[in-house]
Structure formats: structure tokens, C-alpha cells
Amino acid sequence: MKAVRFSRFGGPEVLEIVDLPDPHPGPGQVRIAVHAAGVNPSDWKKRRGMMDQELPQTLGSEAAGVVDELGPGVTDVAVGDRVFGLSDAGAAQAQLAVLAHYAPVPPSLDLPGAAALPVAVETAVRALDQLGVGSGGTLLVNGASGGVGSSAVQFAVARGARVIGTASPANQDYVRSLGAEPVTYGEGLVDRVRALAPDGVDLALDAAGSGILPELIDLTGGAEHVLTVADFAGAQQYGVRFSTGESGRALHVLAELGDLVESGRFSLPVARTLPLTEVAEAQRESEEGHVRGKLVLLVN
């Protein structure tokens, strides 16, 4: 099968489309013929050597497609079903992918739309769970127009929280449409947030990693009220929690998502689709950090 891989760290030019052996599912897993695979910031961070150090590496944590092989014990889906989910092997940007965690594609979604969901929604819900976001409080989301940020806004609103979201001027209306009160990021952010919430905010989620943790600590009254999914170094420097899946992933959201999508309570736009052969361009766009929604690679 064809798959994305790199054998040295560096810029997008190190990415290759190579031939690899076909994978096969283990117990409880399914293999899909991949139609679409999501692009995430972790892809370019891995490529730059900021995460895993082994070489070579494949890429892709999420995909959607049609089941073509069942692992032992799988009874909840059948060959030919449309599913989306997560690849623990990190090899979903390929013609075939094994999904360890999966769910049926919501009927109203196409496969690119479904491929955009798993990483963003799992990360967002895990972060909200770890922060303890519930009804009645005020949450500030930094990076509210991105994949994780916009997902977090919608889930927090569904939980009954008041949400303030930072975004560029061009994305203010989009953030407002999700149910948040938008503010522009940059110098003067603290004053702009306090104009909306004079007593500050209860909790803050950094989904953008833009060096804003000191301001979030100021606004919430302490580092213990802040969580980041995008700034590991800043988390260490300022004593802020950095969310990882090591303490438990919010995988339950995959099965719950269908009802939310079909009822119109959740959506995540696909910003752009590109063929698998243009994975380098997709990573360039992702690294620039101004994508509204998700970038998705089309495979089959």
C-alpha cells in the first residue's frame, strides 16, 4: 500500500509517499480502505523531531473509510460499513489503516467530514473533562476557530458553560456562530476579556500554543485553572497542566458524536481537502496555524 513516511527530520520536503506492507487488524480492531485522513499539528511536530525520536515514521492518527477486514472478536460492524476513528499505529495517512477505536460515520457526513473529527473531538472533550468544565462557569478558549478549539467551544456550550473564544478578526463571526463570545488575540487581550468578564474567567483552555499562558493564569487567578494541549514547554515553565492521553483518553466521544452531529449540535468544517500526494502542502498550511476547521487528505 501507499503511505506517508519520513526518514529524517526537517521541513515538509522530507515527506515521502512509499510502498509499505498491508497492515492487518488485531483483536477488536478493523481495517479500512482509507478514503480520507485528517491532518493535525502533531504531524508537523513529529516531522520536525519535536515528539517521537525514532526513524522512519509514518503519519496519521485519524481516518474514515470502508471496512475491508475485521479483527478477531469484532461484531459491531461489518465489511462494507463506513466508519471513522483513531489509529494507534499512527499510520492513517495511507491507502489502508487499522483503527483501534472507531464508530459508524454519521449519516449526514461524507467521509472527509468524518475523517476530520476523531482527534479534535477526543482532545477537546478530554481537556474539558480534565478542567472540570460544566454548567454555570465561564471558560476562555484560546484558539477557538481551530479544530480542537472550535470543538471545545461547542462541547462546553452544550454543557452549559459560558464561553469566550480568541480568534483572528476574520474568524470572529465563526466563533460567535459556535456559541462563544469572540475576542481578538494579541496585545491587550487581558483587558478585552475583562471587558466581557470583569471578574475574570473560571477556567481557560489553550488550544493554540501561542505563548499566552501568563495571560490565561492572570485571567483565571491561578495556573491550576489553566490547561494547554498545545504548549508543552510553556506548561513546564508556568506550572500549567498539559493534557495528554496517558491519564485516559475520552474515546467515549466517538460513539456519542453521531447524535450530536445529526441533531445539529456539533459541526467541524473541513477547511480544505488535498490529495495524499500533496501532504507536504497540507503540513505547510497546518504549521502556519490559521486554518479554520480541519485539513483533510483524500486517499482513495
- Mean pLDDT per 10-residue run, the chain (300 residues)? 97 97 98 97 93 94 98 97 96 98 96 97 96 96 94 96 96 96 95 95 94 96 97 95 86 92 92 96 88 87
Contact status, residue 18 vs residue 3, Cβ threshold 8 Å: yes
Give the other-Cβ count within 10 Å of 24's Cβ. 11
Q: Provide the residue count of the chain.
A: 300
Contact status, residue 124 vs residue 151, Cβ threshold 8 Å: yes
pLDDT at 246: 76
> Is omega for the bond preceding 56 within 30 degrees of 0, making it cis?
yes
Please tell me what DSSP assigns to residue 292. S
Beta 203-206 vs 226-228: how paired, if at all? Answer: parallel
Domain(s) labelled CATH 3.40.50.720 in the chain stretch across: 121-246
Name the CATH superfamily for 2-116+269-298: Medium-chain alcohol dehydrogenases, catalytic domain (3.90.180.10)
CA distance 65 to 249: 22
pLDDT at 51: 86
Give the global pTM: 0.93
**HSE toward the beta carbon, residue 161, CA cutoff 13 A:** 27
Sequence-separated (6 or more) residues with CB below 8 Å from residue 52: 46
Cα–Cα distances (Å) from 250 to 90, 123, 128, 226, in that order, read: 18, 7, 10, 19
pLDDT at 128: 97
Q: Which of 40, 44, 47, 60 is nearest to 7 (CA)?
A: 47
Q: What angle, rounded to 10 degrees, do the helices at 189-196 and 213-220 form? A: 30
Angle, CA of 294, 297 and 300, to the nearest 5°: 140
Contact status, residue 4 vs residue 279, Cβ threshold 8 Å: yes
Domain(s) labelled CATH 3.90.180.10 in the chain stretch across: 2-116+269-298
Reply yes or no on domain 121-246 having CATH 3.40.190.80: no
Q: Which of 96, 59, 101 is nearest to 76 (CA)?
A: 101
Give the other-Cβ count within 10 Å of 116's Cβ. 30
Cα–Cα distances (Å) from 74 to 54, 65, 93, 157, 163, in that order, read: 32, 17, 23, 35, 40
pLDDT at 300: 75
Q: What angle, rounded to 10 degrees, do the helices at 118-131 and 252-262 form? A: 110
